[in-house]
Amino acid sequence: MPWQHSLLLLYTVLSECESAKTQNLKRKFPNDFRFGAATAAYQIEGGWNADGKTESIWDHVAHTKPCAIDNCSNGDVAADSYHLHKRDVEIMRELGLDYYRFSLSWPRILPTGFPDKINEAGVQYYNNLIDEMLKYNIEPVVTIYHWDLPQKLQEMGGWTNPYIIDWYTDYARVAFELFGEKVKNWITVNEPEQICYFGYGNNLHAPLLNITGVADYLCAKNVLLAHAKAYHVYDEEYRPNQGGAIFISISAQYYDYEFKEYKDAAEDANDFTWAIYSHPIFSKYGDFPSSVKERVKAKSIQQGFPRSRLPELTPTEIETIRGSSDYFGLNHYFTFYVYRNESVKGLYPCPSKDDDLEVAIYQKEEWKGGQINVNKIVPSGFYKLLTKIKNYYNNPPVIITENGFATKRGLDDDDRVTYITLYINAMLDAIDDGSDIRSYTVWSMMDSLEWLGGFSECYGLYEVDFESPQRTRTPRKSAFVYKQIVRTRELDWHYEPDTDVITIDEGH
């Protein structure tokens, strides 16, 4: 759309933000604030069986259920970053990024899933990428696990098998040994809710188990303990010499209430979807939220189970998990309204997490959406979420590890510009009101395979031509806007980029 129309949309949404601060047309960031962009291995690397890499759960789904992914797509080649890492680093330099968040592929490094065999070709790929970044003073922020579990481990139960706590810790230790001298920021696990509820309690992500109300809760306990054990291994054995930081990244969408009688329902929705993972780590006393424990236990007994379907955390396990993250890594995209009344009873499968929670969600028709319908522009929800995290957990240091907006293909992505600008503005409001937010990471640096959404959901600042053998990367308008924010350390409502060419900044 013409930029005047984009600006009109921006101010229309601004008028709904109910924040006096949004009237400022230029806003400065804290002096030490940092900016990055993110991707994940399966989504961009390709080379699915190259040079000794073995099958992941996503490879397995793509090849055995080929049309589970939109348009029968797969990540066999994707953006081909396995062969194009130097172009990826050029993009980082063009954007002027302080850091780049990427993930390691477990089966690329450990083909058997275990440390008995380390794939040197896979190790060399990541070393080449890291070294190219460091050459230009771009910091690697490395996610150890971003959903690509080795298929052989899945066949042994995956995240429902308690032995995965050791399997994952062994893998993390290999990563610390191989890359710890160069990598100073580690993310243990990306989005446990999506791993457990989407993959084990539903059929929205690999491995598509859909054993709801049981497998997802088993997964939750094991993911938390695996994360915590890897944290303590790093903290005790590697941090003294390597001097880095390690934390988890939690996907927290915000559940709000439009009517006061649904306040408790909204609280429960936040507890069941993200605080079930954050509360054990960041709260004063640890453990799962009391609302989750009470509701699941009551439902389980009603349904004839001899005990709660939510596995108990022992006192030792509670202490192991509590405090096991240097930052609150936060991924955020959506806001929903919640209600709970008689119409919700019996709405969901029984047993299931949804039935345990027993709420319905909705969004306002006037909220502007993108290529993914629920990905609507509601910056006030982001502000409320950040404030809730501050108040829930005594203001932990927060790193925004993902935030972004899906559009269709094309270079003029004004809606993404509006979304990113407004959400960064809401983040600045939260900082002004005392939230300890250290950095912001846009999802994503370039288009990628968006899991079951395939290539139809475009989150990238750079468009990737997936029809081209070269997988050409071309900057969208949002790339120019984000570059200006990073360069100036300033949010300028009046800025309108010249999108003819994007250049590499000095120093990058």
Report, as residue numbers or ranges, the catalytic residues: 402
Q: What single-letter amino acid sits at 317?
A: E
Token digits of residue 343:
């119409």
Virtual CA dihedral for 114, 115, 116, 121, nearest 10 degrees? 110
Residue 113, judged by CB atoms within 10 A of its CB (0-12, 13-18, 19+), counts as buried
Residue 491 CA to residue 29 CA, distance in Å, equals 8
Residue 320 CA to residue 232 CA, distance in Å, equals 8
Beta carbons within 8 Å of 367's beta carbon, 6+ residues apart: 376, 377, 378
Residue 340 CA to residue 382 CA, distance in Å, equals 23
Beta carbons within 8 Å of 295's beta carbon, 6+ residues apart: 268, 272, 356, 357, 358
Beta carbons within 8 Å of 479's beta carbon, 6+ residues apart: 94, 95, 461, 462, 502
Any bridge partners for residue 187, and if so which?
143, 247
> What element of type H or E holds 467?
none
Helices 379-392, 414-432: inter-axial angle, 10-degree rounding: 30
Q: What single-letter amino acid sits at 118?
A: I
Classify 473 as helix, strand or coil. Answer: strand
**CA dihedral sign, ordered 194, 195, 200, 203:** positive
Token digits of residue 318:
């509670």
Strand blocks (E) in 53-200: 99-103, 139-145, 185-190
Q: What single-letter amino acid sits at 405?
A: F
3-state secondary structure 348-406: CCCCCHHHHHCCEEECCCCCCCCCCCCCCCCHHHHHHHHHHHHHHCCCCCEEEEECCCC
Helical H segments across 105-262, by residue range: 106-109, 120-135, 151-154, 164-179, 192-193, 215-233, 239-242
Any bridge partners for residue 186, and if so which?
142, 246
Residue 491 CA to residue 468 CA, distance in Å, equals 35
CB 432 within 8 A of CB 21: yes
